[in-house]
């Protein structure tokens, strides 16, 4: 069993890993290859987190309904792999980096027909396209909050759900994101230890 505390402590990382962490998180993936990214997040337990979040989402959804679902920032498909196991989810994966998605296809986590290349803040979908929108670590990747929430609301159907899990929960950030969702036309449905489930207001 992995020691999550040690995995998540920056001080436990080698200088090379700390540099890679900075390029991933602060430099918005600048100069990070798909292989580097994938290895780094797997070493830090992202696959276990993905499995946990998919289980939570499965329990939150109505098993009798089908859900057209959009995963933002699918990357190399670690969360995608788990979402694809939910029987009533029809998944579309959006990421701006084709190389990450192609890596996920090579690893058999993503199906080619699921991928769309595009930006969170200018999503290439029609209005009211999805029942559910999700993604891990996307709050750290967005550039323009107003555009992000406007697009999220636009592509969701009325009453559509936004499921945002946290890789590393920070209470102040959690509270800020809850307020941002409310201020941008979402009703908070459920708040867990490390996720927020919100509904697009009618």
Residue 172 belongs to domain with CATH number: 3.40.50.150
Same domain, 20 and 70: no
Residues 54, 37 share a domain: no
* Mean local confidence (pLDDT), 17-44: 86
Q: Is residue 95 a contact partner of residue 119, using CB atoms and an 8 Å limit?
A: no
173 and 81, same structural domain? yes
Q: Are residues 39 and 50 in the same domain?
A: no
Q: Are residues 107 and 86 in the same domain?
A: yes
Give the pLDDT of residue 6. Answer: 35
Rounded to 5 degrees, what are φ and ψ at 109?
Answer: -100, -30
pLDDT digits (tens, 9 = 90+) for 147-200: 899 999 999 999 999 999 987 767 777 888 889 999 999 999 998 888 999 999
Do 72 and 130 fall into the same domain? yes
Q: Is the pLDDT of residue 64 over 80?
A: yes
Assess whether 124 and 166 both reside in one domain.
yes
Q: What is the pLDDT of residue 113?
A: 98
What mean pLDDT do residues 1-25 have?
A: 64
Distance of alpha carbon 21 from alpha carbon 27, whole angstroms: 9
Q: What is the pLDDT of residue 10?
A: 45
pLDDT class of 202 with cuts at 50, 70, 90 = low
Per-residue pLDDT at 17? 83
Domain interval for residue 20:
4-43
Distance CA 120, CA 143 (A): 9
Residue 10 to residue 93: CA distance in whole angstroms: 30
Q: How many domains does the chain have?
A: 2
Residues 107 and 151 in one domain: yes
User: How many CA atoms lie less than 13 Å away from 50 in the CB half-sphere?
Assistant: 24
- Residues found in the chain: 202
**Do both 75 and 10 map to the same domain?**
no
pLDDT at 2 over 70: no
Q: What is the pLDDT of residues 90-142, one digit of tens each?
A: 999 999 999 999 999 999 999 999 999 999 889 999 999 999 999 987 776 77
- Judgement on whether residues 141 and 154 belong to the same structural domain of the protein: yes
Residue 11 has pLDDT above 70, yes or no: no
Whether residues 147 and 84 fall in one domain: yes
Same domain, yes or no, for 156 and 82?
yes
Q: How confident is the model at residue 1 (pLDDT cuts 50, 70, 90)?
A: very low
């Amino acid at each position: 069993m992995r020691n999550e505390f040690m995995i998540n402590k920056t001080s436990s990382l080698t200088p090379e890993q700390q540099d890679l962490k900075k390029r991933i998180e602060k430099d918005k993936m600048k100069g990070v290859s798909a292989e580097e990214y994938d290895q780094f997040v797997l070493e830090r337990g992202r696959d276990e987190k993905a499995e946990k979040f998919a289980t939570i989402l499965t329990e939150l959804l109505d098993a009798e309904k089908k859900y057209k679902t959009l995963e933002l920032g699918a990357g190399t498909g670690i969360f995608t792999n788990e979402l694809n196991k939910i029987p009533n989810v029809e998944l579309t994966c959006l990421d701006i980096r084709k190389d990450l998605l192609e890596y996920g296809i090579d690893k058999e986590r993503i199906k080619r027909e699921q991928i769309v290349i595009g930006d969170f803040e200018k999503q290439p979908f029609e209005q009211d396209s999805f029942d559910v929108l999700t993604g891990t670590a996307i709050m750290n990747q967005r550039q323009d909050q107003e555009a992000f929430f406007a697009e999220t609301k636009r592509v969701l159907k009325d009453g559509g759900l936004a499921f945002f899990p946290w890789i590393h929960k920070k209470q102040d950030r959690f509270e800020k994101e809850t307020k941002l969702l409310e201020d941008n036309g979402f009703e908070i449905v459920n708040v867990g230890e490390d996720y927020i489930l919100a509904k697009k207001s009618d």
